[in-house]
Chain A
Amino acid sequence: MTNLLQTLTQMLAYPFMVNALEAGTIVAIVSGLIGWFMVLRRQSFAGHALAVVGFPGAAGATLLGVGAAYGYFTFCLAAALVIALLPRAGGSGRTDESAVTGTVQALALACGFLFVSLYHGFLNGIDALLFGSFVGISQGQVTALLVVGACVLVTLALIGRPLLFSSVDPEVAAAGNVPVRALSFVFLLLLGAAVAEASQITGTLLVFALLVAPAAIAQTVTSRPSVGLLLSPIIALIVTWGGLTLAYFWPYPIGFFVTSLAFGGYVAARVAAGLVRRRSKSAW
């Protein structure tokens, strides 16, 4: 036990690990909270589409010589705006946008690879863009994540209740003078920001590990919104810290560890829920 403690203390002596844990903490909290609403609103597909669009953003930013983070943020937010402004078939936040977003995703991946090939030099780190990396996170990056994360959380704290209302019951909410369309718009922007943040840890393809799984676990465990909103970021934190610690000791990509923990947690939650249900049925 003391050996483990010693190794953990050693791990924290490295600034790059501390940066990684700080970045992971911020990203986990933001993803856990935004993801909870995203799963409730059945907008996971949009979330994934935004993540994929982040890839050409990051590649393009590297092409222009600026940090990949700028690319993630601008492209994810721009895409969020586009999706938010698309004409709705009906209802709010729950239309089937898969045809359009699917096409946009394909285009985004193609553009990303185009930028990679246009880069006259050696574009290292394409794996990092897609599957995540955590050993090269600087203090500046952590600060940027914190600033954006704080903005997202403050906004969410202000609109949480009306957003919840318009997510589960849009018609009655609209009648109750809740600005349903405006809230949908704002939420998509928040989602874009959250996706851009998560992509910097897990890579664009594995953003789901932080945005969907913890929220899905929380919603499997409880259907009380306030409890779920507390549980989702906590689960995301466990998954992220666990993933970072495992990746410190074993030389496999961070995205793999985070995704495995998240998925494992989800399976466990579903199995447990199924067992509880079966036991309560047999009690009759």
Chain B
Amino acid sequence: MSTSQGDPVANTGTPGVTLELEGAAVRLGSRTLWSGVDLTLEAGRFMAVLGPNGVGKTTLIKAVLGLLPFSAGTVRVLGKPPGQENHRIGYLPQRRRFDPGLRIRGIDLVRLGEEGDRWGTPLPGARLFSARSRVREAHVRDVIDLVGASAYASRPIGQVSGGEQQRLLIAQALVRDPALLLLDEPLDGLDLPSQTSVTSLISTICREQRISVLMVAHDVNPLLPYLDSVAYVGEGHIVAGTPEEVITSDTLSRLYGTCIEVVHTADGRLAVLGQPQERASCHGSPYEPVAAIGGS
């Protein structure tokens, strides 16, 4: 599931580092999506992955999970090649809206996150007979409490709001005590208050439980107060580092091959402004022009 042409000695990766990519590349069909990528995510840190649509953000997530192969470079996920430590990863896929008529409760979904890969069939009353079941059940309820979803966890998943669904899905991702959370656009479609509360929840979990978080998002601003690092995905390349390093006019212009200006507002927010489809670059970049990334 992964290729790691690289140093045969570095078999287990650096301790304390959840995710490391060296010279990584991914190919879809005959097209190389991005290449020469160096990225490091340390334990307990919060990294956002940003960039326009179609450049390969979801692909990065899927490759880390081992669902797609890396075509070049060395990749270590929790010290192993991608796909081997998936039971220690909590995953929230993109745009997962459940059918409003789907008759299954939020708590069942969370429970499936914990034991859905075990053979067998759920029977009613199992909890009455097995102490192990009772312990597992208590854990599930604890996680639901942690994300603040206890009030609606027993409702069918299709009947709770977008923000509430995301909380439950985060609980599902957390229920196996993961070391790494992979969240693919979890704020997509949520109203602003929900976006803020969900991001704050994720950050709290990240800090208090020392779980690494890799989150794909569209807008960096709501996340800035919580981020330890960012990765910007452009055509053919990914630039990763601290926000101060990466979110500069220089770096982003080079990445996107167009004139991008980063402006710091009076209240500490960042405005990332780009001119769409302009060939003439401020810095003579060799990259091809791309559509501008959004920013408020």
Contacts and interface: CB of A to CB of B under 8 A. Distances in A.
Q: Let me know if chains A and B touch directly in the complex, using CB atoms closer than 8 Å.
A: yes
Interface of A: 40, 42, 156-162, 164-165, 168-169, 171-178, 219-220, 222-230
A162 B122 CA distance: 10
Interface stretch (B105-113, B201-209, B272-280): B105-113
A172 B120 contact: no
Given A160-B122, A168-B102, A223-B156, A176 B108 contact: no
Given A175-B86, A176-B86, A229-B121, A223 B96 contact: no
Contacts of A164: 112, 116, 122
A40 B103 contact: yes
A157 B67 CA distance: 28
Interface stretch (B48-56, B87-95, B220-228, B257-265): B87-95
A225 B104 contact: yes
Given A164-B112, A165-B117, A223-B104, A175 B124 contact: no
A173 to B, nearest CB: 6
Contact of A168 (B89, B109, B117, B122): B109
A165 B112 contact: yes
B31 interface: no
Name B's interface SS.
loop
Nearest to B107: A224
Contacts of A226: 122-126
Name A's interface SS.
helix
Contact of A157 (B105, B120, B173): B120
Contacts, number: 100
A154 to B, nearest CB: 11
Interface of B: 65, 67, 86-87, 89, 91-93, 96, 98-99, 102-105, 108-109, 112-113, 115-126, 156-157, 172-173
A175 B183 CA distance: 13
Contacts of A178: 116-117
A174 B157 CA distance: 20
B105 A224 contact: yes
Most buried by A among B91, B120, B122: B122
Contact of A159 (B112, B119, B123, B157): B119
A214 to B, nearest CB: 14
Contacts of B156: 223
Contacts of B173: 172
Contact of A172 (B91, B103, B119, B124): B91
Contact of B120 (A160, A171, A174, A228): A160
Contacts of A230: 123-124
A130 B92 CA distance: 46
A209 B102 CA distance: 21
Nearest to B116: A165
A161 B104 contact: no
Contacts of A158: 119-121
A219 B103 contact: yes
A164 B104 CA distance: 10
Nearest to B123: A226
A223 B157 CA distance: 9
B175 to A, nearest CB: 11
Most buried by B among A157, A175, A222: A175
